[in-house]
Amino acid sequence: MGSMRDRIEEQYHDEMHRENERGRIGTAIGAFCHQMKNRMFACVDRKSGWDNRHQSPDATLQKQLQAAVIDRDWVSVGNYAMMLDFRSKGQA
């Protein structure tokens, strides 16, 4: 059984680990979102209809998502997933 000091030190290290992990997660998500936004904004003049089921059916987006996975194009995977998620929540 550890001493009080050992338990306090362990708790401190656990808290530091969680904070470190939160920071790393936040950095990774922020960088990925930045790439997703840049890709979407770069296509604004050339592509449209991501939020219109008649112009771009769900099945089409699903196929594009699958192709992006096969191509290992993770930013496109994120964007197609965002589009489908947006639609699934009745926002499109």
* Rg, the chain, Cα only: 21
Residue with the larger pLDDT of the pair 1 and 61: 61
For 28-40, the pLDDT digits (tens) are 999 999 999 999 9
pLDDT at residue 92 above 70? no
73 in the same domain as 59:
yes
On whether both 53 and 77 belong to a single domain, the answer is yes
Domain check: are 30 and 60 in the same one? no
Count up the domains in the chain and report the number.
2
Pick the last residue of a domain from 12, 29, 47: 47
User: Is 35:75 a contact under the CB 8 Å cutoff?
Assistant: yes
Query: Encoding tokens for residue 47?
Result: 């592509």
The whole domain housing 40 covers 1-47
Is 59 in the same domain as 78? yes
Q: Do 30 and 67 lie in a common domain? A: no
**Which position has the higher pLDDT, 3 or 83?**
83
Q: Which residues of 59-92 are buried (b: 16+ CB within 10 A; e: fewer)?
A: eebeebbeebeeeeeebbbbbbeebbeebeeeee
pTM of the model: 0.80
